[in-house]
Structure 1
Amino acid sequence: MKRIISSTLTLAALILLPVASILAQHPYLLIGTYTNNGMSKGIHVYSFDSNTGKMKPVSQVKTTNPSYLAVAADQQHVYAVNENDGPGDVSSFKFDSTSGELSLIAEVPSGGEYPCYVSISKNGKFIAVANYGTGNAVVYPITADGDIDIPVQEVHHEGTGPNKARQEKAHAHAAVFSPDGNYLMINDLGIDKIMVYKFNSETGALSLGNPAFVPVKPGSGPRHLTFDASGNYAYLITELTGEVIVYNFANGWFHTVQSISTHPKNYKGAIGSADIHISPDGKFLYASNRGDANSLAIFKRNRHNGKLKLVGFQSTLGVMPRNFNFDPSGNFLLVANQASNNVVVFKVNKKKGLLTPTGDSITVGSPVCIQWIK
């Protein structure tokens, strides 16, 4: 009897291995969009070939203005903010890896206006939502089946900045958990601060860190934040001044290491920097520029001290690049160009960090977020 069971398990392993290999080479690409221009109905799902960089449409799910997405560690649940006019929502979806289809589980109020960011705690028990319009952030418990429970914590920011057009009040723009799961950082574009909160991973409760915030240069507009794989370095992109600020990070403390522009020295056009990511191998950092630039700035990382050195710039071959992301293999980088309604594929030179257009792109209405299911 034991021999039969052993043989069965071995056979199952042989069958599963090729399937896993196929899935690794053909991850699912998820694209969040704005739906108010009538060209998109919600979240679009594509099959992506990590060998060739080509995409094939699989499915789409109808939901209003899913402008930012987060994929759970189990790869079976997806969360989206619904950045509606006025009060917004946050939604959860179940993902079927066989059909490539998303199905709605829950849609609940975001607790504020114009929610623009959602992230998942390290232990997978909570999501945090940043509401841009009302300058607040809300923490929700999530169940094992992906449902969104009653909020357990809400924090509000107050203040203004020197840019009267953009900083007339607080504008929470991102909610980012620290790699160790012990802190939640809320980047507030309106008050030029990274608010630092201690996070209780069992209850979802937030309490002000010590210090309670990181001051950022007045008028800079902190937007997105990312950490390197070690968790020792954090990188902040400022929307209004187009800079990357490098920090040494430890136990809720941020120590400034460097500030470097995401534009050429003599650049005179409008600035509107957006997103920031580190390559999967940790060697390079990329930042997207909207405004008049429509480019990606490329930096080489010194992994010993976190500092950046400019490598060059790459046109995004579109208008108003928002979010961008690497495919799971790290071979390709995809850019969502909101105003030109296209997602463009670039081949990554892993030695030099440079990007080469593959010639492949897809037309999607107002694409603004790119995520992956492996």
Structure 2
Amino acid sequence: MKLKINFIVITFLVTFNLFSQNTYVFLGSYNKDKEAESIQVYQLDTLKGKLTKVTSAKNVINPSYLTVSPNGKYVYACTETKTPNDGNVSSFEFNPKSKTLTFLNKQRSGGENPVYVSVHKSGKWLVNANYTEGSVSVHPLLENGKIDSLTQNFQYTDGSVHKERQTRSHVHSAVFSPQNDYIFLPDLGADKIRCYRFDETLKKPLAETKNPFIKTDLEAGPRHFTFHPNQKFGYCIEEMAGAISVYQYENGSLKKIQRINTHPDKIIEGFESSDIHISPDGKFLYATNRGKENNIAIFSIDENGMLKTIGYQSTLGKHPRIFALDESGKFLVASNVITGNVVVFKRNEKTGLLKKTGNEIKMENVSCVQIKRI
């Protein structure tokens, strides 16, 4: 009888904990109008996929990319993106109880046109990638969520073979390794994936490695990167080539084992691949294609890390820059910049395929979506 009561209590506590955690969707945009709600927050119904608006922030110029702190208390944004001679990273405090998103502070990003920002799992460090002149910057994070002054900045000048798009470095993302002891920087302009050791105990955590970069195929244009949940494989989406390169990963080292197109056609005019994510169960990979395609390519992942194309899903809009999967793996949310719509898809956990839910919201120039269960 005692065992039965204990089981009921444990079941109740687990169920209560699951339902007490809410899932929030954070949206950024290319918006220079200070009166516009440039950052918006919605709550995601994890049963039906419906989005309900919670709060927003104004007086923010071009918050093009967002990330949420590990504890869910703070939102960090690339701001003044695509603003000549400018570029900042900004912090906000999110309070789901009071339904507020409060601006805390901002710091110079260390370069023009910041496009990606990551937070270390400790919540003590912020790393951002600056696209235009090609650089990476590191800021300490204070206990109150504010961003401290720049502590490291590395700039690159090397380019690659494309005469228009690769005249110099264009770092497009900054992604921590599974253990957060390395950081990888896909460089679209140089056809390289740069790598640094990251020691969170140091005042200047970035340190050079024996192999500071790995070369990609020429005119690949590496853009975003993600790791498999098993920590054995890494996947880089290549914007210019419309391909994904698959790597074996171990202790800061990448070894390419496959390259597969994000579309059956090798050459498509106006084609641009964009974002890449893996389902929480590690069985499927998703990648967005912009330009004429405007779809999500869907791949199954074998035990050896290799990809196999299994289908495509229209994003029901134009120019899907960023998308995200919720932590349960049930839903995928895509943001379409040109058409200014955010679309929720239901994910079949067995087949990996996507199905439209009919749930959609409008947000002008929406450029980024992040999802966090709090």
TM-score (norm: length of structure 2): 0.92
1:31 to 7, 16, 27: 27
Relative to structure 1, the CA distance from residue 38 to residue 319 in structure 2 (aligned partners, 3 Å threshold; closer, same or farther) is: farther
Deviations 1:154-185 (A, max 9, x none): 11111122222211211111011111111111
What runs of 5+ residues in structure 1 fail to find an aligned partner? 1-12
Using the alignment, how far apart are the partners of 2:87 and 2:268 within structure 1? 36
- Equivalent residue, structure 1, for 2:198: 199
> Residue 7 of structure 1 aligns with which residue?
none
Deviations 1:63-90 (A, max 9, x none): 1111111111111111111114121000
Q: Corresponding residue for 2:54? A: 58
Aligned to 1:290: 290
- Residue in 1 aligned with 2:5? none
For the pair 1:47 / 2:66, whether they are aligned, the reply is no
The 1-side partners of 2:254 and 2:208 are apart by: 14
Name the amino acid aligned to 1:168: T
Where do 1:106-145 residues align within 5 Å?
106-145=105-144
1:34–1:40: 8 Å Cα contact kept in structure 2?
Answer: no
User: Counterpart of 2:4?
Assistant: none
Equivalence for 1:212? 212
Any idea what the Cα deviations from partners look like across 1:199-252, whole Å, max 9, x if unmatched?
A: 121124322222110101111100000001121110000000010100001111
Q: State the shift of 1:23 in Å.
A: 3.9
Matched residue, 2:356: 357
Number of residue equivalences:
360
Shift of 1:332: 1.0
Match of 1:68 in 2: 65
Is 1:241 matched with 2:237?
no
Instruction: Output the aligned Cα RMSD.
Output: 1.9
TM-score when scaled to structure 1? 0.92
Structure 1 Cα separation of the partners of residues 293 and 36 of structure 2: 25
How far the C-alpha of 1:50 sits from its partner, in A, is 0.5
> How many Å separate the matches in 1 of 2:261 and 2:35?
34
Question: Which whole-Å deviations, capped at 9, do the CAs of 1:260-310 have from their partners, x for residues lacking one?
Answer: 0001237633211000000111110000000111010000001x2110011
Q: Hey, what's the Cα distance between the residues in 1 that align with 2:171 and 2:250? A: 23
Residues 30 and 154 from structure 1, CA distance in 2 versus in 1: closer, same or farther, beyond 3 angstroms?
Answer: same
- Tell me by how many angstroms 1:36 deviates: 3.2
Match of 2:83 in 1: 85
Following superposition of structure 1 onto structure 2, how do residues 340-355 of structure 1 map, counting pairs within 5 Å? Answer: 340-355=339-354
Matching residue's letter, 1:185? F
Name structure 2 gaps, 5 residues minimum: 1-9
Distance, in Å, in 2 between the alignment partners of 1:262 and 1:301 is 14
Moved more, 285-294 or 39-48: 39-48
State the 1:40 CA deviation.
Answer: 4.3
For residue 83 of structure 2, what is the amino acid of its counterpart? Answer: D
CA contact (8 A) 1:275 1:287 kept: yes
Read off the aligned partner of 2:357 and give its amino acid letter.
Answer: T
